[in-house]
């Protein structure tokens, strides 16, 4: 009688191929991440400035969240400002990035990020990409970042910068952030990085129940209050944090009043 054919060898072969492919994929991801980090123009002098920025400007003002502090130490802020401002990137103030917009003061970036009380598995929407720096900081803490920029020039620059630096979990869109990004809603958190005199209803609608939204709320052409909004079903609560001065949110936001 003929012995039945055994599949053991064939199964072993398939398993070996699968294992080899899995190991190759992991190696490829590791090399890609390492290459992205090594390709940053991040000389020791800039790293020292960044460490001092966190120590003197951020920790000294009460920021304690380790993930936020680590992200601020890691992301090369000098690569998010115009070339002529690189040596000033770690100063304790906002800097112009073109189109009448600014990159926020490092402390404010850290404060807004810490105020969201992020755990690491969130999907976050940012309104006002600007240079892409705030999105880059968020990307080091959360699962996915979706960010919208209304100005075409800044959108193109930020998208190219974030991609070239390897921030692969940041998704950039050109458009009016007032209307949010409905295709990817709901969001665990939303951050608005431009001044507006009311909370945009479309953004509240795209926020998860229990989610948090932070924004500079007040006169777009004067001073504002940094406010944390927490959604509770069809209602929400507000918590004032500090006084701030942001550039106005443009587009649809300027057509509406409270």
Pick from 118, 129, 122, 127: nearest CA to 69: 118
Neighbouring C-beta atoms of residue 85, cutoff 10 Å: 15
- Tell how far CA 110 is from the center of its chain: 11
Q: Which SS3 state, helix, strand or coil, does residue 17 take? A: helix
244 with 225: CB under 8 angstroms? yes
Tell me which of 30, 104, 139, 257 is the catalytic residue: 104
104 has catalytic annotation: yes
Nearest-angstrom CA–CA distance, 180 and 147: 9
The token pair that represents 16 in the structure block:
């070996």
155 with 129: CB under 8 angstroms? yes
Alpha helix locations (H) across the chain?
Answer: 8-39, 44-53, 66-74, 106-115, 133-139, 152-164, 201-205
220 with 254: CB under 8 angstroms? yes
Nearest-angstrom CA–CA distance, 215 and 84: 30
Nearest-angstrom CA–CA distance, 246 and 204: 21
Catalytic residue IDs: 104
């Amino acid at each position: 009688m003929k012995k039945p054919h055994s599949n053991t060898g064939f199964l072993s072969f398939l398993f070996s191929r699968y294992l080899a492919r899995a190991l190759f994929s992991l190696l490829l991801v590791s090399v890609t991440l390492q290459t992205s980090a090594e390709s940053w123009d991040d000389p020791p002098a800039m790293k020292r400035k960044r460490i001092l920025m966190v120590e003197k400007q951020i920790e000294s003002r009460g920021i304690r969240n380790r993930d936020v502090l680590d992200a601020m130490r890691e992301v090369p802020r000098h690569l998010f400002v115009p070339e002529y401002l690189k040596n000033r990137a770690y100063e304790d103030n906002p800097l112009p990035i073109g189109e009448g917009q600014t990159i926020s003061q490092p402390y404010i970036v850290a404060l807004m990020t810490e105020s969201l009380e992020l755990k690491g598995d969130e999907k976050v929407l940012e309104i006002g990409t600007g240079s892409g720096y705030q999105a880059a900081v968020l990307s080091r803490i959360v699962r996915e970042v979706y960010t919208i920029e209304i100005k075409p020039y800044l959108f193109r620059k930020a998208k190219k910068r974030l991609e070239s630096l390897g921030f692969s979990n940041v998704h950039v869109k050109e458009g009016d952030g007032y209307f949010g990004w409905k295709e990817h809603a709901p969001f665990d958190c939303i951050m608005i990085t431009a001044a507006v005199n009311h909370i945009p209803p479309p953004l509240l609608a795209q926020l998860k129940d229990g989610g948090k939204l932070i924004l500079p709320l007040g006169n777009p052409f004067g001073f504002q209050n940094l406010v944390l909004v927490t959604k509770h079903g069809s209602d929400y609560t507000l918590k004032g944090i500090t006084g701030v001065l942001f550039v106005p949110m443009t587009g649809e936001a300027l057509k509406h009043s409270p």
